[in-house]
């Protein structure tokens, strides 16, 4: 009888350790996310299932064009692309992105597609009225500029609201890829 109790205790212990490890990994290392809506088309599709790397920015700096997940509201997370980094000025004129007055190519945007047209703007005309992206903030846009709630309406995003970087689509299987 003692052996049976001991064996049961070992199984309970193994299961509790597995749940604890899964909780820690999901909380601090990686977690799944499902794309909700068309704001990142054509790069990401509605209902794409992705992995969020929560450790990436603890060990390396954020880079222009990273795809990030951030807390947009208390109960809603958004997925967008980092366009401008701290200390940079951002503008779009005639569908061309300018960082600090220099044109920047956006390889993920199909310029021949009219539905991807970006309305002209300058950073100082947007919420916050900043001349440059403040320290510890980034400017984000959706790839589908005509159908995206992003820094043009939300303002710059504090880096401490960023959950992590994502670029791995794992579902549906036919879309499995590393998105850029």
Q: Tell me the catalytic residues.
A: 39, 80
Q: What is the C-alpha separation between 32 and 42, in angstroms, rounded?
A: 20
Query: Are the beta carbons of 59 and 103 closer than 8 angstroms?
Result: no
């Amino acid at each position: 009888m003692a052996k049976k109790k001991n064996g049961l205790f070992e199984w309970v212990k193994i299961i509790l350790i597995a749940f604890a490890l899964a909780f820690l990994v999901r909380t601090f290392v990686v977690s799944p996310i499902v794309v909700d809506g068309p704001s990142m088309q054509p790069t990401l599709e509605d209902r794409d299932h992705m992995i969020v790397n929560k450790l990436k920015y603890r060990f390396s700096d954020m880079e222009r064009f990273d795809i990030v997940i951030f807390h947009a509201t208390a109960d809603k997370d958004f997925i967008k692309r980092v366009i401008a980094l701290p200390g940079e000025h951002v503008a779009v004129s005639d569908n061309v992105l300018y960082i600090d007055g220099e044109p920047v190519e956006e390889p993920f945007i199909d310029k021949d597609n009219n539905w991807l047209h970006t309305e002209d703007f300058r950073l100082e005309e947007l919420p916050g009225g900043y001349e440059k992206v403040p320290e510890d903030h980034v400017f984000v846009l959706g790839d589908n500029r005509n159908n995206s709630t992003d820094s043009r309406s939300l303002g710059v995003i504090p880096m401490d609201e960023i959950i992590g970087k994502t670029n791995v689509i794992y579902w549906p299987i036919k879309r499995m890829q590393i998105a850029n």
